[in-house]
Structures are given as structure tokens and as C-alpha cells.
Structure 1
Amino acid sequence: MSRCISTLQSLRPSRNLFRNGWNRSVSTSVFGDFQFKGKDASEIKSSYDVVIVGAGHNGLVAAGYLQKSGLSVAVLENRHVVGGAAVTEEIVPGFKFSRASYVLSLLRPYIIKDLKLKEHGFNYYFREPYNSYTPIRDDFWSLPEYPAKSLLLSNKLELSQAEIAKFSVKDAEAYKSYEEEMAKYCKAVTHLIDSRPLNMGDSKKLGLRDRFSQLMPTYRALKALGPSRIPDFHDLLTSPASRILDQWFDSEPLKATLATDAVIGTMQGPRCSGTGYVLLHHVFGGIDGRDGAWVYVEGGMGALSASIAASATGLGADIFTNSKVEQINVQNGKAQGVVLKSGVEIKAKTAVLSGTTPHVTFKQLLTEKSTIECLGSEFLNKIQGIDYTSPVTKINVAVDKLPNFIANPSSSPGKVEPWHIGTIHLNCENMDLLSESYTTCKTSNCPSTQPMIEMVIPSTLDPTLCKEGSHVCLLFTQYCPINPSNGSWESPEYKERYAQTVFEIVERYAPGFINSIVGKEVLSPWDLEQEFGLTGGNIFHGAMGTDQLFWLRPIRTKNCWFPETPISGLYLCGSGSHPGGGVMGASGYIAAQTVLANK
């Protein structure tokens, strides 16, 4: 397939669109070739070996591996475009946005190789020399604990240390040991990430070889740690991120910047137990052998999904968009296929894989009384109890000029400076700000008035997203409840008020930002649920607390060994199954390998 991206030649929309309150929550009908075009539903066959519900990146990965093994595969996607939350859409004319997920690091390297994604248009930009920027608000400049106006961090240790030393020489020296320690933990956890978790069901059904085989990933992880580090690893997994970081550092801007990885996407503050694992989860990735590196996918995250889809279809898989699955058919305790909203029935000879959240799979797609009885009340009660709480509101913004930060003014108008390229952390000067943002939301059940903001500007590196001089700014903000007590996300006025709160904060760091906006989209937790099928708006298909990880994901049960389910022939392949959220592809890979092992 030819590359799935191209430079879009479009005129800038009128600024009056924004000033008149233009705030579309859905995409326009104008699409570039950065998207993968699925087949028309009229071409669906009546029977396949495997039917996959949902064309999120995990479902597409599973399709690629299963089709490669010789099975016939159909992937059915409700929306008009594949990718789930990893999509690129032109929500403002002339501007392409990674609407939900927006940066890449966690995609497993073997998937890139096995499915030959680079041959199918997958390309990316490393964020160098700095991948993180924390400007200090001007009212902090006079305080002794803020001797510098900003903090830049890099994948190159010496550059990070030089920046950290502006705040604390001691922290700069400790940073090397911290990075080395985290790298060892990352090496250990990857053995668990890439393998099916331990069987917590009836192990009597397993032969001696199978029992030994399933213990090997845990053995390798413990061996990589070494006996002396096992207690420290347990401490990391269960502790608040604040306690971990306090043990290493004194500088508040450094601790707060690192802590954003511990709370991103989770309704917890840095002082909440278990956020230590979330911190680790966001640093074990890397691209092209560069550990911990995060990249911008050329053409946006949808171009990655398009490359996976192109690989799968090149192997022979059929992928259909605008094909909503209404029901998974089950007979005599076995998944037999699916029924579309249109009434079309598709049989699955070997397996049905669901890339939806566990709630959607078990509570919405399995509707027959006999099937519900087969699952059992205890199992369904545990499914009902999964935590899907989300703090995230994503705001996608089109601007006609690059933000100019007063902490580091640009040397000339519109010039891309090193600090524009990485993730920009706002309201992150200290841990108290992060903690207060969380606690005020939690206690009031209202969006934070001082939200934590992660801002990225991928157009600083990727010219395919908009025309020269313009930029796309992606604002990942929290904390926001899905059902706030002071209003409703269904109200355009309510969303507008929150957006203005966020924009006013950005304006304080980069005066002129508000006037540069030519269009926007606000995706609250409610919108993320409605638009992308993310239960509760949770970007991970379920919270990533230690009570919902590894063999506890999505639930602890004796009924089955996930990604298998109590329904024979039905598997979970989305992020709601081990190893969880992020654009990893591992859940899809593990599901495919499990199907093949059970053939």
C-alpha cells in the first residue's frame, strides 16, 4: 500500500468560525489519505474463521497475526475509520488531529517487525534534543526554590542533568542513578507485559509443561530484578509516586514533571497509592532501540493504525468500517459469530475476539438470557465493578501561530525552538499543584479550575498535519469527572467554559495563544465514551491501578483464564485485558497467540 499520509493543501478557515463559537464535537466529512479505507459492508462474507469486534489498534494487530497464520479474518468497526482511539481526523478544515491518543512509545517492537509496519507507511519523528518542557509561571520566578524559569528534559542524560542542575546539583547527580534504577525495573516488567499472565483459575487442567511455561515470564522478571530488588520493586508497584520521587529528588519542578507520567489518564493524584506503577508503565517503552523515547507518528496516530490495517489486509484480512456489531451470538456456551445492526449475521468457525471494553463485551454484546446465565452472577458482578473512572478531557486546537512562552521567548516570530518539540507541562511547577488539582475535583465532583495540562505540538516536526505557519496543539487535561455536579458535558456551553479555563492558563504561559485559535474540539470523558466507546471515558479500557493489573485484569476470576472468557471461543483483545492501556498492541498479540495455541 502507498504511504497513508500526504501534505494537505487547504485554505485556512475563517477566524470568525471560532469567535462565533464554532466547536465541533464530531469530524467533518473531509478526509485525507492519511486514513485507511475499510471495505463496504456489502462485501462481508457469511463466514470467517475469526471475527474481530472493533478495529482499534489491538484488534488490527490480532487480525494481522491471525491472518498471517492462515486463518480467515474479518474485522468489524462501528466508526467510519479504523484505529479506535488511535485515529487522525480533520476536525478543523486544513488541520489533521490525533484526536485521542497522540504520542507513541509503548508499541511492542516485535509487532513493528512481524507485521512489517514500516513497509506499510509507518514513519515517525524523534523529539530531540528535548522531549519535555516545564515552563515556570511568572509569579514563581521570585521564589528561591525556582532559580530558573523552565526545566527541559532529554533522552540524553547529560542534557537533562545540565537542566536539572539549574534547580539542584544534588538532583542532577541523583538523576543518573534514578534512570538506571527505572531501566532495571522496565527490563523486568517487559517480561510480564509480553506474556499471558499467570492462570488464576483451575490449574489442574494444565499439564506440567504448560504450568512450567506460564511461570517462565515471572521467573525471567524476578531474575532480571535480582533477589535484593524484589522488595523495592513491590514498593514501586504499590506506593504513591510522590514517595518514590521524594526518595530521589528535592526539586519540585523535576518531581512534578516526572509525576505527570504517574497520574496521566488516572483519577488519582501523585500522593495516591499505586501511582508508582503507572509511572513505570509510561517509561518502559522506546522506539528503534532508544529506551524511553516518545515519538510523533507522521500523519498522526491514525497513520499508525492505517499501517497495521494495511499489513493485515495485505495478508488477506477483510476490514469493514461503518459496521456496528449489535450482538455476539452464543450457542451451547460457545461463540458462534456476530449480528450487525443491519441484521447481517456473520459466523465465526474458530473464534470471536472483542476489542471493546469488558463492560461493552459482557454487558452490551452478550444479551441472550442463556448466555448471561452461563456467565454467572458472580462473574457479571465483578465485571460491573471494574473501575472505569476517567479524569481526562482532551482539547484539540488549531492555531495560526506558534505559542510563544514568556519563560523562553522565541528568538524570532514563529520559529520552532527546542522547547516547542516535546511534551509541555503546564500547572506542573510543584507536587502540591498536581495534588490540589486532583483533590479539588475529587471532593467537589467538578472539573478542576487549575487542571494539569500536557500540551504537544506535533506540527513542529510533522509538516503533513497543517500548512506552514499554522499548528495543531493537542491539550491533554485533567482532572474532570464524567458526571460533574455543576453541569453536564452534553451542554456546549459547559464544555466551552472548561475550554476557556484551560486556554486562560495556557495564555498565562504564552500570551497571544487565545487570539491565535482558529478552531477546536473538546472531548470530555462523556465525549470519549460516546465517540470512541470508551466506557467511563477511560482511555485505558479500565483504570490501571494495581487492583486491575496482570492476573487481575480485567477481573480476578476462576471462571476463565483471560484473554479467554467463560464463553468458549470468545476472547478479549482490547486494552481491558492484560497488559492494559497505551498504544502497545500487546493485548491484541496475546489474544491472537492464545487463539492459535487453542486451535
Structure 2
Amino acid sequence: MKSWDAIVIGAGHNGLVNACYLQRAGLDVLVVEKNDWIGGAATSRSLTPGYLYSNCSYVCSLFRPEIMRDLELPRFGLQVISYEGGAVFTQDGDYLANYRDHNAHRREFARFSPRDAEAYDRYARDVTRQCRFIQPLLMRTAADPTSLRPRDISELVFLAKKFSGLGAKEMADTLRFWTMSISDFLDEYFETDVIKANFALSGIIGTALGPMSPGTAYVLLHHYMGEVDGSVGAWGYARGGMGAVTKALAAAFEASGGTIRTGAEVDRVLVRNGIAKGIVLANGDEIHGKMVISNADVKRTFLKLVDEKELPSPFLRRVKNFKMRGSSGKVNIALDSMPEFPALPKDSPVYRGDMHFTDTVERMERGYDDWKAGRWSADPFLDMVIPTTLDPTMAPPGKHFMSCFVQYCPPKVEGREWTDADRDAFGETVIAQIADYSPGFRERIVHMEIRTPREIEAEVGLTEGNIFQGELTFDQLLFNRPVPGYAQYRSPIGGLYMCGSSTHPGGGVMGAPGRNAAAEILRDLKRGTKHMSPAHDVI
């Protein structure tokens, strides 16, 4: 029976990135995927004739350009088209437009508040400063502050130098930024409700926190630090839907000689004498390998794929306490024509970006109140895009695909499991909000796919439907992600590694966890310590 050099569990983007780097380094790598298609949360599927849906993730920005270059993804068909605008609709029939051009953006802000237009430059400067501080850390393994190993000491010195180089005021601002709420942060710059709502949305997407919750300012940063074609903070559509990202990764992997096996659900990791020796599939097949790399989240990996007796109790306790707290849903809609929004000028560039209906921070906070009570928001925040305005490959001529990311949507409804009736009522809440701003919208609907955390977990394997494989709160970042002492992609089991978004630097279609994990694996192989687990336990 063949024994692989490495077996990667899950053909999501991080699993494929990891597999690509390992295969290119000369290993013989197998990727196994439980679904009959690849992509994980970054997939494109046709659920109704002629239309292509980005089922979960729906926009591209965070994917690291270094990885795109290393793996030559444009050569394998990946093309990202930048947004051209965006808008927040107000309840009085007006709208706040977003434009790619900085000066046009300022003029639009001045329409609401000259003071806020002036503050925008200061805001953009300060957020960019935070991006420049954090971006170099994305593609580096987080240091272990409890270790005396030279690499960890070197990384801590690197971090200390970067921090001390900020200057006293900027150091204080950085510490405040990482711990404050997005609402408090925006209050320091802007006075206009709709302008604050425009920026606050990036502080709550995918997070079980409200805009007034401490820590949400960092979540904004996590979304802000992406880039498209060198434009920092830009967002765009992958031509052919988000599945184009993983399709290009799979092509790059297979071109290097890698193997992908779909329809291969993993039942458990095969562990002998504390060492991972392969996997056992749900059908009973055993596949042997010299190492196993899990792209599943930390809870699914260690609470479902590994027997508890193989894990030290302090580690197991930390894994069980790792916060998931899914908060998002998704509604994908096939339309027979372009929807009309009377507030917007015809053919406005804002159609070719993300649009929102929540025009105050208070409305967002009330939506969070619903989530805390175990209900989906009666007045949800929607991140609504129509990719077919820039990518006609996703629908028949003259027709369109709309993606609606929905906040807030709980993993359980008032403590019980979701039912199909709940799911349909959730979808109706979304459609009703869109129809309030777009007359005739219902009549344009050809087909809908409604995804609550139940569907997201069942299909994609994201525990509680959390799109980041774990909350991006300060206590779950850097050397704490996912578990102190095991934040460097290794695990208590020799030869079992992690490469998913539960690890540093976190979620989003970024690829950094997969690439960083590959670097650590190759480093272990070079040292001849691939079966070594960390020399200390969590506390």
C-alpha cells in the first residue's frame, strides 16, 4: 500500500496553498476532500441552469500577493477584478457612495459633512499605519513568548523593534486600536451616522460582536489590509466566482504532480504511539502517510478527528474553550434582470461594488442584540454585491447573480437546532429588506440558495458556521491562535500539523496560514524532526 509523504485534510484554499508549497518542495502530497467538489468556503457552484454562485466567500482581497506570485496563479487562470464603487442606502431615500478615487470619496463625504471629509484623510492615514504594522506579521510564524529557542527570541525582538519604532504616541494609539470598539474608534474621527456606519461594517463582518463591543476595531483592520493589483484596501471579484481561486490552486498543485481525491470524508486521524501515521476515511479505507496536515478548524480537528485519549488534558481544555460563535448567514440569488434602486443614478459605478442598507451604528448594535437573544436579526446588516456587473461569466446574458452576506445569524435558534422553516423565514427577512429599497425585486428572483450556520457547517465543515474558523478577538490572535504553546502550526501529536484559519493570522481567503504551515513543516523536515511535538504543554 502506498504511503504518501504528506496528507492534507480539506481542499479549501489554505489546504491547497499548503499542498502546493509542499509538492513544489519535492514531497508526494495527497489532498482529501469530503465533498465531490473542491474549494471549501471558496467555491463556485451552479445550482440552477446558467448561473454560477459564490456560495460562501464572495469577494477577493486578502489573498496574499506573495502567494499568487510564488504559485503563479494568474498563469492558471486566476483574475481579480476590482470594485468600482459601493453605497450605503439611507432610510430617507438618499445614499452615501463609495468610490475608488480618493478625492471623489472625499467630495461625497463633504456632501454630508465638510468636517468628516477633512477627517477622512486623518482616518485613512491612521488605519494605513496600523496596516503597515500588522502586514509584515501575516507571513511570519507567531513567536512563542514562553520559548527560549533562538527563532522565537528573534521573532520577539523583531516585534519589539517594530513596536518601539512607532514612537510614543503611535504606540499608545496601537494598543488602544487593538482593544477598542469600532464605534468608539470612529467617533474619534466622524460625526455623521451614515459615514460611521459605512466604516463600522468592516468591524462586524463574520464576528459575534456588536460595533460597540471592544475588539471590533481590529476586525476592521483585518478586512482593510488586503489589496488588489497593488491597491491596498481594495476589494474585487475573482472572475468565475470565488471557486476560481481554489480552481487555480488545484491546477497549480496538480501541475506539480500532486493528487486530489474528492468524495473522501475523513473519519479520524490514524495515530500510533503518539505519531500521526495517516487517516481513516468514513468508508473505512486507510491511507498511510508520513505526516497529516489538517485544514479543518481546531475544534473539528481535535474533537472529531482525533481520539481524546491521544491529547494532553490542558490542550484539550483549551481547544474546547476556543471561541467559534458563528454569526453569519448567506443568501445567493439568481435574477432574471438587473435590480433597480431608485436612490441611485442609473449606471452608477456604485452598483459595481458592495451595497448596504444599515445606515447607523445603532441599527447594527440592535441586530447584535437579536443574535444575543438567539434570533436572526429582524433588521439584518447585508453586504450585498452583484458580481455579474463586472463578471458576465456567472449568469446568462442580461441576467445577474446577487450575493448577500448576512449579519447577524446565530448557530442555534433560541437554543435549539435550525429547522427548514427557520431557514426559509430567515431568507424572507433578507428579501424583504432588499425589496424595501428595490421595487419589483421579488419578481426578478429566479432561484435562491439560503445558507444559515447549519448549512455552512454541514457542507463546508466550519464549526458553528464561523467563517474565520474562530473569533478574531485579541485573546485568539498571534501566539494565542489557536492555543498557547501550539500557535506554530504543530500539535501535541507528532507529525500532525494545522494549516487552517484557526491558526495565525486567522480567517478570510488569505492563504497565509497554509503557506506559513508549509514553511514550518519544511523546516522540521530539514532538521529531521518532523515527528517532534512541542517540548511544553499549555497551561
Q: Distance in 1 between matches of 2:404 and 2:158?
A: 37
Instruction: Give the aligned partner of residue 478 of structure 1.
Output: 407
> Counterpart of 1:52 in 2: which secondary structure?
strand
Q: Distance in 2 between matches of 1:289 and 1:222?
A: 25
Instruction: Give the aligned partner of residue 441 of structure 1.
Output: 371
1:275 alignment partner AA: T
Instruction: Give the aligned partner of residue 581 of structure 1.
Output: 507
2:403 alignment partner AA: L
- The 8 Å contact of residues 488 and 494 in structure 1, kept in 2 or not, is answered as no
**CA 1:221–1:109 in 2, change beyond 3 Å: closer, same or farther?**
farther
Q: Distance in 1 between matches of 2:107 and 2:335?
A: 32
Please state how far the C-alpha of 1:172 moved relative to its aligned partner. Answer: 0.5
Instruction: Give the aligned partner of residue 353 of structure 2.
Output: 422
Does residue 407 (structure 1) correspond to residue 347 (structure 2)? The answer is no
Equivalent in 84, 90, 93 of residue 49 of structure 2:
93
Segments of 5+ residues of structure 2 without an aligned counterpart are 526-539
> Counterpart of 2:394 in 1: which secondary structure?
coil
TM-score (norm. length: structure 2): 0.95
> Counterpart of 1:153 in 2: which secondary structure?
strand
- The 8 Å contact of residues 181 and 211 in structure 2, kept in 1 or not, is answered as yes
Please state how far the C-alpha of 1:344 moved relative to its aligned partner. Answer: 2.0
Does residue 511 (structure 1) correspond to residue 452 (structure 2)? The answer is no
Output aligned runs, 1:342-357, within 5 Å: 342-349=283-290, 351-357=291-297
Q: Distance in 1 between matches of 2:169 and 2:277?
A: 50
2:211 alignment partner AA: P
Quote the sequence identity (%).
37
Output aligned runs, 1:152-191, within 5 Å: 152-191=97-136
Equivalent in 543, 546, 550 of residue 478 of structure 2:
550
- The 8 Å contact of residues 487 and 494 in structure 1, kept in 2 or not, is answered as no
1:431 alignment partner AA: V
Does residue 289 (structure 1) correspond to residue 230 (structure 2)? The answer is yes
TM-score (norm. length: structure 1): 0.85
Please state how far the C-alpha of 1:63 moved relative to its aligned partner. Answer: 0.6
Please state how far the C-alpha of 1:437 moved relative to its aligned partner. Answer: 1.1
2:156 alignment partner AA: L
Q: Distance in 1 between matches of 2:160 and 2:515?
A: 21
Q: Distance in 1 between matches of 2:251 and 2:165?
A: 36
Instruction: Give the aligned partner of residue 595 of structure 1.
Output: 521
Q: Distance in 2 between matches of 1:152 and 1:473?
A: 19
1:235-275 CA distances to partner (integer Å, 9 max, x unpaired)?
11110000000000011111001000000011111000000
Moved more, 543-552 or 51-60: 543-552
- The 8 Å contact of residues 188 and 220 in structure 1, kept in 2 or not, is answered as no
- The 8 Å contact of residues 143 and 153 in structure 2, kept in 1 or not, is answered as no
Q: Following TM superposition, where does structure 1 have runs of at least 4 consecutive aligned residues deviating by more than 6 angstroms? A: none
Output aligned runs, 1:118-267, within 5 Å: 118-128=74-84, 130=85, 132-137=86-91, 140-141=92-93, 149-201=94-146, 203-204=147-148, 206=149, 208=150, 210-215=151-156, 217-219=158-160, 221-222=162-163, 225-267=166-208
Q: Distance in 1 between matches of 2:395 and 2:510?
A: 27
Give the CA RMSD over aligned residues.
Answer: 1.5
Q: Distance in 2 between matches of 1:431 and 1:459?
A: 29
Q: Distance in 1 between matches of 2:141 and 2:522?
A: 13
Please state how far the C-alpha of 1:441 moved relative to its aligned partner. Answer: 2.7
Q: Distance in 2 between matches of 1:173 and 1:409?
A: 26
Q: Distance in 2 between matches of 1:190 and 1:216?
A: 17
Instruction: Give the aligned partner of residue 210 of structure 2.
Output: 269
- The 8 Å contact of residues 453 and 478 in structure 1, kept in 2 or not, is answered as yes
Please state how far the C-alpha of 1:212 moved relative to its aligned partner. Answer: 3.9
1:81-130 CA distances to partner (integer Å, 9 max, x unpaired)?
111100000012211000000001000111000000000000121112x2
Q: Distance in 2 between matches of 1:224 and 1:89?
A: 47
| Count of residue pairs brought into register by the alignment | 525
Does residue 526 (structure 1) correspond to residue 454 (structure 2)? The answer is yes
Please state how far the C-alpha of 1:374 moved relative to its aligned partner. Answer: 4.0
Instruction: Give the aligned partner of residue 366 of structure 1.
Output: 306
Instruction: Give the aligned partner of residue 536 of structure 2.
Output: none
> Counterpart of 1:162 in 2: which secondary structure?
helix
Instruction: Give the aligned partner of residue 389 of structure 1.
Output: 325
**CA 1:226–1:194 in 2, change beyond 3 Å: closer, same or farther?**
farther
2:350 alignment partner AA: W
